[in-house]
Structure formats: C-alpha cells, structure tokens
Structure 1
Amino acid sequence: MTSAAPAPTAAPDQLRGGMVQVILATLASTAGFWAWMAISPLQKSYAEQMGLDEGQISLMLATPVLVGALGRIVVGAMTDRFGGRRMFTFVLLASVPAVLLVALAGEIRSFPLLLIAGFYLGVAGTIFAVGIPFSSAWFPPSRRGFANGVFGMGMIGTAISAFFTPRLAESIGYLPTHLLIAGVLGVFAVVSWVLLRDSPVWRPNTERFVPKVVGALKLAVTWEMAFLYGIVFGGFVAFSTFLPKYLTTIYPDDVDVVGAGTRTALFAAAAVVARPIGGVLADRFGPKVIALISLGGIVSLAYIVGQQPPEGIVTGATFILMAAAMGLGMGAVFAWIGPSTPPEKVGSVSGIVAAAGGLGGYFPPLVMGATYNPDTNSYSLGLWLLVFVGAFALVVAGMLRDVGGRRAASKV
C-alpha cells in the first residue's frame, strides 16, 4: 500500500508567485485540451460526409485518446528532466501541425488521413503530464491537492471544444475553425516560453528514461492510483468524447449536433469545477474518503444512465452529477500521489497515472460501439460494464491506506 515520502521544502518567499504560475499553466492546458478534443464535437459531420459506421466512428474518437494516454508516460518523464516551461512550449508547438492535418483530412473527406491526424493529435493530450509535476513543485505538500486541482481545471478545454467547435464550424467555416485552434496553440506556446518559470525547489532528474519509468512502476502507489484514475478520469474522457454521439443516437428527435455539444460542455464544466474542490477536500479530510464518495457516485449515476430515462431534466442532471463525481475523484487521486511519492519521481508517476486515465478513456468508446444494440437503440450493456468496474474500484479504494488530511500532510 502507499507510504509517505519526503518532499522538497522551501521558504515561503521562494514559492511566492506560485499561484500565478499555476494559473498560466492551466490556461496553456486549456488550449491543449481544446485541440485534443477537436474531432469529437464534429463526429456526426464526419460520419455523414465519409459514410462511417459505428465501429469507424468509435475508432476515430478513440485514437487521439490512446496516443494522448501513452504519450503521457514519455512526457511526464521528460518533464522531470527538462522542466515544465520547456515541455509546455514543446507540446503546444508540436500540436499545431496535428490540428492542421485534421483540417486537411476533413476538407478532402479522407477517413484514413483523419485517423492519422487523430493519432498525431494525441500529442496535445499529453500536456496534462507536464502540469502536474510543474504545479506540485510550486506548493508545499499540504496544498498540492489544491494546486493540482486548480491546474486540472484546464480540462475546461474539453468544454470549450464541445461548445464552440461546432458553432464556429457553422459560423466561420470548418477550415477557419481549425486555423483558429492552431493559432491559440501557437499563442500559448509563446506565453509559456516567455512567462512560465519552474519552481525554485524543482531539480532536474537526469536518470535515463527506461530506468526512470521502471523505478516509478516499482512503487505501489503508481499502480494503485493508475487504477483509480483510469476510472475517474477515464470515465470523464470517455463521456466527453462519446457523449455527442450517445445523445444524437439515443435522442435523435430531441438533440442535434449543437445541442449535444452544449450538453457535453456542461458535463465537462461540472467535472472541471469539481476537480479543485476534490483536491481541497482531499487536503483537508484525506484523499481516500473523497475517492470513495466519487466512486460511489459514479456507480449510482451510471446505473441511472443505463436505464435511458427520457431526454430532459433527469438526464441532464444525471450526467452533470456524474461529471462532478468524476471531478472529485480526479482531485483526490492527485492529492494522494504528492505525499506518497518521492519528489524526484512525481513527474514519472504522474505521467504513468495520467496515461492510465487516458487509457481508461480509450476503451469505453470502442466498447460502446461494439455493444450498441440497433434493435433497441441502446448502449445499456456498455453502461452496465461501467457500473461493475466502478463497483470493483470502490472496493479497491476502500482497501488502500490513506495519507491523511491536512494535519498529517503538514508533517510530511
């Protein structure tokens, strides 16, 4: 089970300005998440223009998630070595050609090229593995849940993508929309290089990549948190990606593409708001109890969704509450990592855990597509699988040792 590890310390004046740095990192992350989720809000248009079936749609939606997940392992380790300022700039600049390639694929209506572009677009999703060690180093152990929760609000980029991408595509056109996204990435790359600076307590880890990752994998906390994050963040990514498809399929007479984008944006926003709350509550009461509340909520609400209630207030409230439960869990998991991990391995562990979260979001869209029943117009089997997996995670979380609340954390 998890055990506490010493963390770097610094005088309060050394860490002055940390909140500004975390906010700037959050804005940079928002741009990355917007780009990462650029395909999902337009999935119905792609499907109609390219004649895609359920399996092809699921693969198209899942590909950026897979690459964004696995790439976080590498990017997390690179952040330990090169620092957040350099890696934020690198990830944002590297994502620009990916967005332009998506634009080209849509313009020429090429599904194979869209898959290749989606694969490359996954680079934008690795930005999360940069921000966790960057933000953690700016705050003492007792406030890292809060710091990581604030940085995690960069997930609002998924809501921005869901809400604005289809509207922009309708108002200014498909190609200009993607040029705008690419421009935003470029602007924040410059902002990251000019304004971000690494914490005074951060020290580069020059250990080679493979031994570094192997060392992180030897820690029990890595596997424990990877499993839990695969449920809470994986569920968030899966629904953020698949929800427009789900809503337009299950409620075709009530929800159009723009309406589905609005509902998905509200889903993402609820998780974004709940994430720092989860971090703060975990700092105060301990991450274990917050994780248990989160998983209990996910299981209960996934069951309700599986009943496919009529489109309206009940459906909307259920999805929003589910997103909030996932957000609480995300904040709790990363509040758990900080005091439980040697400081020189925070980036590597965070990268692996973040990768597990992304992988948790990769498989559900494929499962939903494979288990869809056209005769009953139902995804109930896929949702039942979420209920069972969430229930198992609830049991696992209950067996883990907590790192304590604020009083315990302050002694680390």
Structure 2
Amino acid sequence: MNTSFWKSGHTPTLFAAFLYFDLSFMVWYLLGPLGVQIATDLHLTTQQRGLMVATPILAGAVLRLFMGLLADRLSPKTAGLIGQVIVIGALFSAWRLGVHSYEQALLLGLFLGFAGAAFAVALPLASQWYPPQHQGTAMGIAGAGNSGTVLAALFAPALAAVFGWQNVFGWALIPLLLALLAFALLARNAPDRPPAKTLADYLKALGDRDSWWFMLFYSVTFGGFIGLASALPGYFNDQYGLSPVTAGYYTAACVCAGSLMRPLGGALADRIGGIRSLLVMYGIASLCIATVGFNLPNVNMALALFVLAMLGLGAGNGAVFQLVPQRFRKEIGVMTGLIGMAGGIGGFLLAAGLGAIKQHTGDYQLGLWLFASLGIVAWFGLYGVKQRWRTTWGSAAMTVARV
C-alpha cells in the first residue's frame, strides 16, 4: 500500500471506523457461534436455531436503511454513537435479566441488528475522506471490520463452556465500551460530506437499474459470508459431530479467511478492476460451495473448501465496494444503506434457509447447491453488464479508478 493512500484521507477516522465496525460485527454475529449451546438449553429445533441465528442478520439489513438515513441527516459519527449505545443497552439487559425462551432470543436478535447496521455508518464515514483511486482500499480497510466475526467464533463458545452462554453477553460489554470511547475520540466527519438524502432519494435510487445489480451482487458476496458464518457452527456440529467449541474454531478459520480478504479484495480491485476481480471470486466461491454440497466424508476437506469459498466471498465484498463509489459517488450514503440491506437479506435467507432445509430434508445438500447456483447467476449477470459499465460511468473519461 503506497504512501499516497495514507496521505489522501484521515487515518484516525479510518481506524475508528474499522474498530467500530469490527466490534459491532462481533456482537451482531454473537448468536451464531452460541447457537448450538443456546439451542440445547432452550430445546430448539434445527429450524428454530437457524431462524434465531438469522434474526440479527435480517434486523441488521432493515436497520441499515434507517441508520443510513440517520447518518445522512445527522452525521455518520453521531449515528454511530447512537447505534453503539443501543447495542450496549441490549446486551446489558440480556446479561442481567437473562434469555429464557426462544421468543426472548429472537427479541435480543432484533436489538443486535443495530450492530449489523454499523455497515451503513462505518463505510460512508471512511469513504467520504478518500478520492476515487483509493476507494477500494479505504472501503476494504473499513469493511474489514467484519473480522469481528472471527473474535465471536473463537471466544464465544469457549467462554460459554466456562461461564455459561448468558454471561458471554456481559463479557462482550468490555470491548464494546472501549470501542465506543475510541470512536468518540478519534472519528471525524469529512468536511465535504454530501447533502442529506431523504426517503425519496432512496426510492429514486431504486429506479436506477444499476442499484439492483449491485444489490444482487452484494447479496451473494456479503450474504454468503455472513449467512455461512452464522450457519457453519451448526453445520459442523450436525454434519460431523464436532463439539460447539471445536465447531467454533473451524468456523473461525472460515470467517478469518473471508475477513482478511475484504481489504485485499478492495486493493486487488483497485489494481485490476472491480469487475474482473468479482468475476473470478464468484467462480471460486460457487465451485467450492457446490463441491461441499456432495457431503464430503472428511471434515477437513469440507473445511478447506469453505475457507476457499470464504476467501472468494470476502474478496468479492471488497470488489463490490470498489465499484459502488465510482457509480454512486454523490449517493454513497443512500447506496451503502440499500446495498448493505440487500447483503443482510441475502445472509438471512441463507442462514434461515439452510436450517429450514436441514429440518425438512435431513440434509444441507439442497441449500448449499441453491446458494452455489445463485453465485453462478450473479456471475452471468455481471458479465452481461460489464461492457455497458466500462463504456459509460466506468470509462477513463469518467473516473481514474479501474473498473
């Protein structure tokens, strides 16, 4: 990464956006790695477990639209502070009052959605500081906050085994409070922020066909990442009989791969173009997921393919958001909310769908193949718009970035 990048924006804000996003993702994903232990204590079915771990994803998807509007109307920093306080309050209540039923677990998941909505705050906060040629790198670094899923997968099941899963909510408050302090001190709103957007602006953006393409592409890359991250602890436990702690470690390896590749995927897209990078990543992820669908007899073979798939999906996340600011520079707040919402909905459908399919068929095969097929659909869709994008808004006359 060259020195011109670090001089082109505001590094403390970029760090604050990353840290806020990272810890928010940690708690947004918290029910995923705790899913097996919670389901055992609350006597949940596989389908109920799937819906429980998917609820924060759906709530985060819907709330991203709200948080995007709030970031536009107030400021990204103010919206971020509000969201963090709500999440801290919800976790404190769950820790002190306890979660004693399926319905209460779903209610907690709804409040954790505010953590998932951090996406609509952290990315515009960072993006607005950086020029077009560095958007992929800046958005990749800020977006690498999804590495918080690694922290949850690594530590949540082990802490739950020692202290009980209810007390994990209390442990999570410590890093969250530190992140809140750092965000308040370090983050700054960009001086040339675009004017606030209204709900009508969101509806207008939906009238642009490119917005729908980006929502589809991100629903596969990010939806695949967070959906698999939430479902894999249960998958490894159901399919291979791994303990919750071991399943958490296996899941952590997968989500670590995807998280690390997001900033690298953004940097790669800056170098070779977002479209070319995304086409390769869709191919890798779809092939790996389809292969896993054959119910491999060895858990390590499945792990290796899931890691490769997550590498592709993580890099794809970075590539999508290398392209978005080139196409929607003035509408970045609106489009971040809409595209992020689509990604969350994709993740909810994948996590909940895998649980429902396992419940009714006794197997994950159909769900994995359906997701792999969606990746192929996205590949052909991107290939179809490639020429138009490169000769219109992605042309050399319109942007200095590689598209």
* TM-score past 0.5 threshold: yes
Q: 1:47/1:215 Cα in 2 relative to 1: closer, same or farther (>3 Å)? A: same
- How do residues 246-395 of structure 1 correspond to structure 2 at under 5 angstroms? 246-252=235-241, 255-343=242-330, 345-372=331-358, 377-395=362-380
Percent identical across equivalent pairs?
A: 29
What is aligned with 1:244? 233
Q: 1:301/1:406 Cα in 2 relative to 1: closer, same or farther (>3 Å)? A: farther
How many correspondences in the alignment?
394
Structure 1 CA distance for aligned equivalents of residues 370 and 185 of structure 2? 46
**Aligned residues of 2:8 and 2:130 also touching (Cα < 8 A):** no
Question: What are the Cα deviations for residues 319-345 of structure 1, in whole angstroms up to 9, with x where unaligned?
Answer: 1100000011101111110011142x1
Q: CA deviation at 1:173?
A: 4.0
- How do residues 209-228 of structure 1 correspond to structure 2 at under 5 angstroms? 209-228=198-217
* Secondary structure in 2 matching 1:40: coil
**Aligned residues of 1:286 and 1:405 also touching (Cα < 8 A):** no
Q: CA deviation at 1:411?
A: 7.1
Structure 2 CA distance for aligned equivalents of residues 407 and 270 of structure 1? 36
Structure 1 CA distance for aligned equivalents of residues 395 and 133 of structure 2? 8
* Secondary structure in 1 matching 2:54: helix
Q: CA deviation at 1:215?
A: 2.5
**Aligned residues of 1:274 and 1:324 also touching (Cα < 8 A):** yes
1:410 paired residue among 386, 397, 400: 400
Structure 2 CA distance for aligned equivalents of residues 382 and 155 of structure 1? 24
Which runs of 5 or more residues in structure 2 are unaligned? Answer: none
Question: What are the Cα deviations for residues 93-129 of structure 1, in whole angstroms up to 9, with x where unaligned?
Answer: 1111222344357x45222111111111111100011
What is aligned with 2:95? 103
Instruction: State yes or no: 1:398 paired with 2:383.
Output: yes
Q: CA deviation at 1:91?
A: 1.1
- How do residues 91-170 of structure 1 correspond to structure 2 at under 5 angstroms? 91-103=83-95, 107=98, 109-170=100-161
Q: CA deviation at 1:406?
A: 9.1
Q: 1:93/1:108 Cα in 2 relative to 1: closer, same or farther (>3 Å)? A: closer
Q: 1:157/1:267 Cα in 2 relative to 1: closer, same or farther (>3 Å)? A: same
Question: What are the Cα deviations for residues 272-323 of structure 1, in whole angstroms up to 9, with x where unaligned?
Answer: 1111111111112211111111111111011111012123432221011000
* Secondary structure in 1 matching 2:192: coil
2:24 paired residue among 15, 32, 38: 32
Q: 1:269/1:362 Cα in 2 relative to 1: closer, same or farther (>3 Å)? A: same
Question: What letter matches 2:82 in structure 1?
Answer: F
Q: 1:146/1:411 Cα in 2 relative to 1: closer, same or farther (>3 Å)? A: closer
TM-score between both structures, scaled by the size of structure 2 = 0.92
RMSD: 2.3
* Secondary structure in 1 matching 2:188: coil
**Aligned residues of 1:93 and 1:185 also touching (Cα < 8 A):** no
* Secondary structure in 1 matching 2:33: helix
What is aligned with 1:232? 221
Structure 2 CA distance for aligned equivalents of residues 61 and 16 of structure 1? 39
Structure 1 CA distance for aligned equivalents of residues 325 and 60 of structure 2? 22
Structure 1 CA distance for aligned equivalents of residues 9 and 127 of structure 2? 13
Structure 1 CA distance for aligned equivalents of residues 345 and 175 of structure 2? 27
Q: CA deviation at 1:374?
A: 7.4
* Secondary structure in 2 matching 1:272: helix
Which runs of 5 or more residues in structure 1 are unaligned? Answer: 1-11
Question: What letter matches 2:68 in structure 1?
Answer: G
Q: CA deviation at 1:393?
A: 0.8
**Aligned residues of 1:77 and 1:212 also touching (Cα < 8 A):** no
**Aligned residues of 1:145 and 1:332 also touching (Cα < 8 A):** yes
**Aligned residues of 2:127 and 2:139 also touching (Cα < 8 A):** yes
Structure 2 CA distance for aligned equivalents of residues 42 and 211 of structure 1? 40
Q: CA deviation at 1:408?
A: 6.9
What is aligned with 2:186? 195
Q: 1:13/1:58 Cα in 2 relative to 1: closer, same or farther (>3 Å)? A: closer
* Secondary structure in 2 matching 1:41: coil
Q: CA deviation at 1:365?
A: 2.1
Question: What letter matches 1:295 in structure 2?
Answer: Y
Question: What are the Cα deviations for residues 368-406 of structure 1, in whole angstroms up to 9, with x where unaligned?
Answer: 12222677x521011111122111111001012246599
Q: CA deviation at 1:80?
A: 2.1
Question: What letter matches 1:124 in structure 2?
Answer: A
Structure 1 CA distance for aligned equivalents of residues 222 and 401 of structure 2? 29
